[in-house]
Amino acid sequence: MRRTLRRSVVWAAAFLLAPVAVAAAEGPVPARPSEFLLIAQIALLIAVGRGLGEIMQRIGQPSVIGELLGGLLLGPSVFGLLWPQAQHAIFPASPEQKALIEGIAQFGILLLLLLTGMETDLKLVRKVGRPAVFISIAGIVVPFGCGFALGQFLPQSLLPHPEARLVASLFLGTALSISSVKIVAVVVREMNFMRRNLGQIIVATAVLDDTIGWIIIAVIFSLASGGHLDLLSLAKSIGGTLAFLAISLTIGRRLVFQLIRWANDTLVSSAAVITVILLLMSAMALTTHLIGVHTVLGAFVAGVLVGESPILTGQIDERLRGLISSLFMPVFFGLAGFSADLTVLRDPNLLLLTGALILIASLGKFGGAFAGGALGGLSGRESLALASGMNARGSTEVIIATIGLSMGVLSQNMFTMIVTMAIVTTMAMPPMLRATLARVPLGKEEKARLEREEAEEQGFVSNLERLLLAVDESVNAKFAATIAGLVAGTRGLPITVLHVGAQARTQEKNRKDEESAENTVRNAAKAIAERDEENAARDVDVTTRSRRARPKDAVADEARKGFDLLVVGMDKVLGAKGYDKKIDEVTKGFQGPIALVAAKGRHLEQPASNAFRILVPVSGSGVSRRGAEVAIALSRTSLVPMQVIYVSTTRDNDPRRAASMSHMHEEAILKDIGVMASRYDVAVHTIMHANMSPDAAILREIRTTRADLVVMGVDRVKGDTLNFGGVAASVIEKSDVSVLLVSSGDSETRRSGTAD
């Protein structure tokens, strides 16, 4: 640790001294803004802020503390005190030069609020419900009242405009009452407590705090702009804010989804989705400015809507997050720390007031959150842990203080006091939260939920983000739409329905078939959502496309937009030699996993039926487990137990291996599937056929169990034509019930399974 610290200091010093030497060599500060100084300032803020942020993370503190401390080191508190000439050379006080870096910082505020909004999980707030609402209200009202009262008694010397004491008191009350959702979420996540019930309540409460806080700031900004309490202007601001929120969360929500989808599916330029997200943020920020409230509210709401977009992939999220974290965060928080002059705390009166501010902020937030936890039905230990977590101010208070300083509502000394309070409360939060969370016991139901979610992290269905359904006008296509809708309904996944090979049909026929497939998908998704309260509010987004290109080209064009699974439903599955030529063409355009549907038996008459008697063959391979996962997802609409049969692989049929094996291996595999199904309240019956050929065992159990759907995980064998192995082909050909094959992708390594 000491070696790391020394290295970081050396590198920071190197970055610091290089521009200092050049700046000193250039002589006086130029009259016009200097690009050299701007680049030097950004480089210093990034190098020192990120370096100290790394050190902070290594000692269990949020990286934002390091970025604030970096600004303090580069500002008048340290660097300006030790070497004022060099500090003034790099950070001149000329308004033109300051405007350059402050412009970047102001845009950084919007990006930070965009990121905060993207991390705001409104579904989590709805899920937690009553406790989060009680805690958030009590945790805001009590410290807000304390901060407002403190503002009313502050000496006039701390107020830039004593006649506007009301507005300053409102800003101070807000700064003391809002928790930083980013800091809270980071600490809870680092402690692996995010999925715990209490962890979710803490984060949901911080989300509500942040949301309410930015609405309050928007109203106070409007009030501050007028300079006095004007009831008409205040009502106009509140009405405009409520109207903006109402439109954004209804019409705007749908519009944002469509724009992101359009960018992802239509534009071919690099980072097109990120470009659209930044434009959306800017448009909404400008909108809030035009209605008389601060731009931060527009950026925050834009982040909330973007974060809920059904096709926002992890890759896009990480790229945007990386840009903000590596550039804009250290610049903004570094400048915030730079603006805070800790040398003023040498005045005993200001130091005493700062201590009083920290004490009032901590006691007010802690007491309010603890009382809210008790009212929300939490135990004493849970309320104590929650109150400890909600005391972190961090980034939110710094942004609020920066806005107040830029508007002239807060004085420089008051700004320094608030930044000091934010740093102290944030640094105190992690150890307090760790100590109190360690004393909160784990309940039985919570333990079962955590085990299920841990298993889902490595699962196939739980990691799907977007489905592509390729169909024609056949009955089998409608059955495939049912299967795709059920899989999507488990997690509210968006689906694109692609109609291929439709050249000879009329436009009216095309339109009716498209509507039929889309309605089938929606009805199936709705059926599975009704069985699961957690998913009941999710709406499956369905897009329909009809392509006249060759099936291979049509699927390939869609596949580049990013899909995790291709579901295929065509009239004819098998041909004279293997799989039908049309299916072979369709699957050649997709490199990922495929679900091939073959409707038989009662599903030829009832293709939209969503209740199945499922038979799942497993062999212990990864791909057979993938098939079991899909079968469990489909079984969630059925009251009939799922039948799981262990079938031998090519390796198992080796006499030398069979002679040395007991049934422990097979029983362990069946038990694993049973445990996985029980996490979703799906009942299973297990069967073992270790010494029979796989296809024979499967066909026999179809008759014995009266199954109407066989779900098989199979390997996609590389070659010139589509091939899932002999077992899969034999079952499709000889079975008189429907079959669903769930394959590995072309890029996945072939493993031994039921396809062998």
The mean pLDDT value for 214-236 works out to: 67
94, 64 contact by CB (below 8 A): no
- pLDDT average, residue stretch 704-731: 88
Query: Nearest Cα to 726, choosing from 687, 753, 688?
Result: 753
Q: Average pLDDT for residues 166-180, to the nearest whole number?
A: 82
Assess whether pLDDT exceeds 60 at residue 56: yes
Per-residue model confidence (pLDDT) at position 751: 37
Q: Note the pLDDT of residue 504.
A: 45
Confidence grade of residue 323 (pLDDT, cut at 50, 70, 90): confident
| Residue predicted with more confidence, 13 or 672 | 672
What gap in Å lies between CA 192 and CA 197, rounded to an integer?
12
With 80 as the cut, is the pLDDT of residue 619 above it? yes
Say which residue, 728 or 548, is predicted with more confidence: 728
Residue 747 has pLDDT above 60, yes or no: no
Please write down the long-range contacts of 228-236, taking CB distance under 8 Å and 24 or more positions apart. 228/164, 229/166, 233/292, 236/292
Over 60: is that where the pLDDT of 654 sits?
Answer: no
Task: Provide CB contacts within 8 A for 663, sequence distance 6+.
Answer: 688, 690
Neighbour count for residue 290 (Cβ, 10 Å): 12
Q: Is 519 helix (H, G, I), strand (E, B) or coil?
A: helix
Amino acid at site 641: P
Give whichever of 117-121, 250-254, 433-437, 452-456 has the largest mean pLDDT. 250-254
Better-predicted residue by pLDDT, 396 or 670: 670
Residue 596 confidence (pLDDT) above 90: yes
Q: Which of 234-238, 606-610, 731-735 has the lowest mean pLDDT?
A: 234-238
Q: What pLDDT is recorded for position 28? A: 52
- CA dihedral sign, ordered 595, 600, 606, 610: negative
What does the mean pLDDT of the chain come to?
79
pLDDT above 50 (res 737)? yes
Strands lying side by side in the sheet with 738-743: 542-547, 495-500, 467-471, 565-569, 594-598, 738-743, 709-714, 614-618, 642-647, 684-689
Per-residue pLDDT at 279 exceeds 90: yes
Averaged over 472-479, what is the pLDDT? Answer: 88
pLDDT tens-digit series, residues 10-33: 555 555 555 555 554 555 555 567
Cβ neighbours around 36 below 10 Å, total = 12
Q: Could you tell me where the beta strands, DSSP code E, fall in 472-551?
A: 495-500, 542-547
Instruction: Categorize the per-residue pLDDT at 709 as very low, low, confident or very high, splitting at 50, 70 and 90.
Output: very high
Looking at per-residue pLDDT, the higher value among 728 and 639 belongs to 728
Residue of higher predicted confidence among 410 and 506: 410
* pLDDT at 156 exceeding the cut of 80: yes
pTM of the model: 0.69
Average pLDDT (253-276) is 84
Does 499 or 576 have the greater pLDDT score? 499
Q: What pLDDT, on the 0 to 100 scale, is given for residue 460? A: 83
R_g of the chain, CA atoms, integer Å: 31
Confidence of residue 270 (pLDDT cuts 50, 70, 90): low
> What would the mean pLDDT of 254-258 be, rounded to a whole number?
88
Residue of 511 and 694 predicted with greater confidence: 694
Residue 665 in tokens: 């291996």
What would the pLDDT profile of 386-432 be if each residue is shown by its tens digit? 888 888 776 667 777 887 888 788 888 888 888 888 888 877 887 88
Q: Which two tokens stand for residue 70?
A: 């970096």
Residues β-bridged to residue 646: 618, 688
Tokens read off for 271: 């980072």
- pLDDT beyond 60 at 129: yes
Whether 256 has a pLDDT exceeding 50, the answer reads yes
Show the CA angle centred on residue 654, arms to residues 651 and 659, nearest 5°. 115
**Residue 647 has what pLDDT?**
84
Q: What's the rounded mean pLDDT across residues 438-449?
A: 75
Sketch out the chain's domains with CATH numbers: 94-437 (1.20.1530.20), 456-592 (3.40.50.620), 611-756 (3.40.50.620)
Neighbouring residues of 359: CB distance < 8 A, sequence distance ≥ 6: none
pLDDT of residue 536: 41
pLDDT at 690 over 50: yes
Phi/psi class of residue 242: alpha, beta or left (left: φ > 0; alpha: ψ in -120 to 50)?
Answer: alpha
Residue 594 confidence (pLDDT): 92
Stretch among 135-139, 537-541, 556-560 having the lowest mean pLDDT: 537-541
pLDDT at position 176 over 70: yes
**390 in helix, strand or coil?**
coil
* Residue 72 predicted with pLDDT over 50: yes
598 confidence band (pLDDT: 50, 70, 90): very high
DSSP assignment of 201-247 equals HHHHHHHHHHHHHHHHHHHHHHHHHHSS--HHHHHHHHHHHHHHHHH
615: β partners: 643, 710
Phi, psi of 644 (to 5 degrees): -115, 120
Confidence label for 741 from pLDDT (cuts 50, 70 and 90) = very high
What's the pLDDT at 75?
85
Which of 281-295, 498-512, 595-609, 662-676 tops mean pLDDT?
A: 595-609
Q: Which stretch of 20-29, 323-332, 594-603 has the lowest confidence by average pLDDT? A: 20-29
Q: What is the rounded distance in angstroms from the CA atom of residue 87 to the CA atom of residue 105? A: 19
**Which range has the worst mean pLDDT, 553-567, 648-662, 681-695?**
648-662
Task: Indicate the pLDDT class of residue 537, thresholds 50, 70 and 90.
Answer: very low
Alpha carbon separation from 475 to 279, 482, 570 (Å, rounded): 44, 11, 8
Asked if residue 227 has pLDDT above 80, the reply is no
Where helices occur in 291-379 by DSSP H, the ranges are 295-307, 314-323, 329-339, 348-375
Q: How far apart are the first and last CA of the chain?
A: 53
Over 80: is that where the pLDDT of 312 sits?
A: no
Of 208-217, 349-358, 478-487, 530-539, give the lowest mean pLDDT range. 530-539
Q: Check residue 260 and give its pLDDT.
A: 87
Query: Which pLDDT does position 711 carry in this prediction?
Result: 93
Number of Cβ within 10 Å of residue 535's Cβ equals 17
Tell me the average pLDDT across 536-540.
Answer: 56
